[in-house]
Amino acid sequence: MKPGLSRNGGNLVSVPFSVERASAFLPRGFWQGRAGAQRTRELHHRPPRRPNPAWPFVVFFAGFPLWWLVGLGSFGFLLMSIPLGYYLLRRRTITLPAGFGAWLLFLTVLTIGVTVLWAPLPDVLPEKGVDTLVPFLYRGAWFIAVTVVMLFIGNASERELPTQLVVRLMSWMFLITVAGSYAGYFFYWVDFPSLLQIILPKALLNNDFLNILIHPGLAQIQDILGYETIRPKAPFNYANSWGANFGMYLPFFILAFTGYKASRRHMIIFAVLALASIPPVIFSLNRGLWLGLGIMAFYMVVRMAFSGRWIPLVGIALAGIASAAIINFSLLGDLIEDRFDNPHSNEGRTNLATTTIKLTLQYSPLIGFGATRQLQGNYFSIAAGETPDCPHCSPPGLGTQGSLWYLVFCTGLLGAVLFLYFVGRRFATAIVMNGRFAQTLVACGIFFACIIPFYDVISETLMTLMIAIGLLWRHERQRITNSSPGETGVPSTKNQLPDT
C-alpha cells in the first residue's frame, strides 16, 4: 500500500499526509534533527532538584518534642546550625547587617579569652588541666551557632524560608513550652532517660554537665518558699530557662494568631491559649519572667496608643482583667505573695555580681577571664564552703546567675560593651519602624534586656533573640527594596506576614 492511502471496505481512499500524524509513530525528536533530539534528552535527564537549604531549621523546630526525647533538646540547636552554615557559605554573596563589625570584634575578644583561662586569681580556686576548656568551647559553640542562624535568616529569600513559616515555628515552640510546664507541674515525679542516655557509654554519662544537657527532665523541686516547690522546666534544662524562653517565644505567638486578617476562630483560639498560659507563669515562680512580661506589656500598650490601634488595646485590657481574676480567685495569688515574701537569692546575687565586677576591673578589665570561676569558701571566709551538712554553702561560680555577669567576667568590659552594642543597635533600628510585625518583634529585645542580669541566656534564649534580629534585618531590607524598585538581590515579600 502506498503512503497516503487507507483501505476502507476494500476500497482505497486518499488520506492527507501530515508531519503531526507521522510524529505519533516516530521517536521523539525525529523531525527536529540532532539539536532537537539533544534538547529532548536533556529534558528526560534533568538533574534532581536540590533540597531547600532551610530544611534543617524547619525539621528541627517542627520536630522539637522528638529531639527533646532523643536528648538533643540543647545540642540540637548547635547541630542545626552546621548544615545551615554549609548552605550559607555556598551562597555567592553573604550580606551582613549594619553593626556586624562590632559582633565580629566581640567574637574575637571571646576567642582571645582562651589565653587567660588558667590565669591565677586571689581567693579563687585555681584552674588546672583541659577540663576548663569544656565550658569555654560550649559557650563559644553557642555564639557561633546563633551567628550562623541569624546570617542565614537574613540572607535567605522568602521562597527559601518564608517569614510566616518562621513565626509559626516559633509560635509552635511557645505552645510546646506551655504544654511542658503543665506536664512538669502535674507529672513532676515522672523520670525517664533520653535515647542518648540509653546508648551512650557509661563513662560519658558520669559527667554531670552532659547529663543535664541530654536528660529530658520535667521539673525542678526547690525549697524557695520555705517548703519544697514544683518548678516546671520542660522542655528545657532549668526552671529559669523555661521562663526565659516563654517570654522570648510569646511575641511570635502573638504575631501568629492576631492581626487584621485573623479570623474569629483564630482569635478565640488565641484567647483560650493565652489564658491557659497564665497559671504556668505564676507557678514557675520566675520573678525575672514577671518583670519582663510587665515591661513588655507596657511597651506594647504605649506603641499601640501612639499608633492609634485601639482595638488591640481593648484586647490587652480585657486580658489583664481576666488575668487578675484568675490570680485573685485561685491559689496563684498566694503563690505570688509567698514568692515576694521569700526573696531567697537577692543577697547572694548581689554579692556575686559585686565580686564579679570587682575582680574583673582589678585584674582583667578588657578581655575578662574566658570562663567562669569558683570562689574559695564563701563571701565571708575562704575556709567556709560546701560541706556534707550544707551542700549549698558554696556560692555559685563567678560569671553565673545572669549572662550580663558572664559577659563582664568572661569577656571583660570590652566584650560586654560590644555584645550589648550590636544587639542594641539592631533593635534600635527596628524600634523606629512602623507596623505590627516590627513593633511586636522588638518586644523580644525588650524582654531580653530585662532578664539578662538574672538568667543564663547563652542558650536557646539567645538563639531566639538572633532569629528575631534576623527577621527584623530582613524586614528592613525588604522595606528598602519596596521603596526602591530598581534594587535587586533582596528577598521578596510575597509570603511575609502583613505589616499592619
- HEC assignment per residue over 345-377: CHHHHHHHHHHHHHHHHHHCCCCCCCCCECECC
Q: What residues have CB less than 8 Å from 360, skipping those under 6 apart?
A: 368, 369, 408, 409, 412, 413
Q: Residue 118: what residue type? A: W
User: Which one is predicted more confidently, 40 or 219?
Assistant: 219
Flag whether 495 is in a domain: no
Length of the chain: 500
Residues 29 and 124 in one domain: no
Most confident by average pLDDT, 9-13, 46-50, 371-375: 371-375
Query: What's the pLDDT at 243?
Result: 95
Task: Decide if 493 is inside a domain.
Answer: no
Closest Cα to residue 98, out of 459, 448, 430? 430
DSSP 114: G
pLDDT of residue 60: 97
Do the Cβ atoms of 380 and 428 come closer than 8 Å?
no
Q: Choose among 421, 420, 404: nearest CA to 360.
A: 404
156: left (phi over 0), alpha (psi -120 to 50) or beta: beta
Please indicate, yes or no, whether residues 78 and 38 belong to a single structural domain of this protein.
Answer: no
The 10s digit of each residue's pLDDT in 237-285 is 999 999 999 999 999 999 998 865 667 788 888 888 988 998 899 888 8
Structural contact between residues 479 and 430, judged by C-beta atoms closer than 8 angstroms: no
320 lies in a domain? yes
Answer yes or no: do 67 and 19 share one domain. Answer: no
pLDDT at site 490: 36
Q: Are 453 and 240 in contact (CB under 8 A)?
A: no
Q: Pick from 221, 251, 215, 210: which is nearest to 235 by CA?
A: 215
Q: How many Cβ atoms are within 10 Å of 213's Cβ, its own excluded?
A: 18
Residue 499 in domain:
no
For cell 563582664, name the residue: 408
Tell me: the pLDDT tens digits for 33-92? 555 555 555 545 566 677 889 999 999 999 999 999 999 999 999 999 999 999 999 998
Q: How far is CA 362 from CA 39, 46, 120, 372, 399, in A?
A: 74, 66, 13, 16, 15
Q: Tell me the CB-side half-sphere exposure of residue 496, using CA atoms within 13 A.
A: 23
Q: From the centroid of its chain, how far is CA 21?
A: 62
**Shared-domain flag, residues 279 and 370:** yes
User: pLDDT of 327-341, one tens digit each?
Assistant: 666 656 555 665 655
In sequence order, what DSSP letters do the residues of 176-214 get, joined into one string? HHHHHHHHHHHSTT-----HHHHHS-HHHHT-HHHHHHH
Could you tell me if residue 312 is inside a domain? Answer: yes
C-alpha 452/C-alpha 420 separation (Å) is: 11
Kindly indicate the confidence band of residue 381, based on its pLDDT and cuts at 50, 70 and 90.
very low
- Answer for the pair 171, 440: CB distance below 8 angstroms, yes or no: no
Q: What residue has cell string 513588655?
A: 296
Report CA-CA distances (Å) from 344 to 199, 340, 349, 379, 386: 39, 9, 10, 16, 18
Give the residue numbers spanning the domain of 472: 56-483
**Residues 164, 32 share a domain:** no
Residue corresponding to grid cell 535515647: 195
d(C-alpha 462, C-alpha 142), whole Å: 8
pTM of the model: 0.83
User: In this structure, what are the phi and psi dihedrals at residue 290, rounded to the nearest 5 degrees?
Assistant: -60, -45
Q: Is residue 305 part of a domain?
A: yes
Q: How many CB atoms lie within 10 A of CB 453?
A: 14
Same domain flag for 40 and 109 = no
Nearest Cα residue to 339 out of 242, 237, 247, 231 = 231
Max distance between CA atoms of the chain, in angstroms, equals 121
In terms of domains, do 25 and 92 share one?
no
Which grid coordinates belong to 104? 565580629
What is the 8-class DSSP label of residue 459?
T
* 3-class secondary-structure state, position 111: helix
Are both 16 and 154 inside the same structural domain? no
| Bond into 3 cis (ω within 30) | no
39 and 64: one domain? Answer: no
Asked whether residue 287 falls in the same domain as residue 379, the answer is yes
Contacts for 378 with CB less than 8 Å, ≥ 6 apart: 384, 385, 393, 394, 395
Q: Are residues 158 and 38 in the same domain?
A: no
The mean pLDDT value of the chain amounts to 82
The pLDDT confidence band at residue 497, using thresholds 50, 70 and 90, is low
Kindly state whether residue 490 falls inside one of the protein's structural domains.
Answer: no
Domain count, the chain: 2
Structure confidence by residue, pLDDT tens digits, 347-368: 778 888 889 999 999 999 999 9
Give mean pLDDT, residues 443-460.
95
* Shared domain check, 84 and 31: no
Position with higher pLDDT, 101 vs 225: 101
The answer as to whether 497 is a domain residue is no
Q: Using the structure block, give the residue that is written with the C-alpha cell 505573695.
A: 337
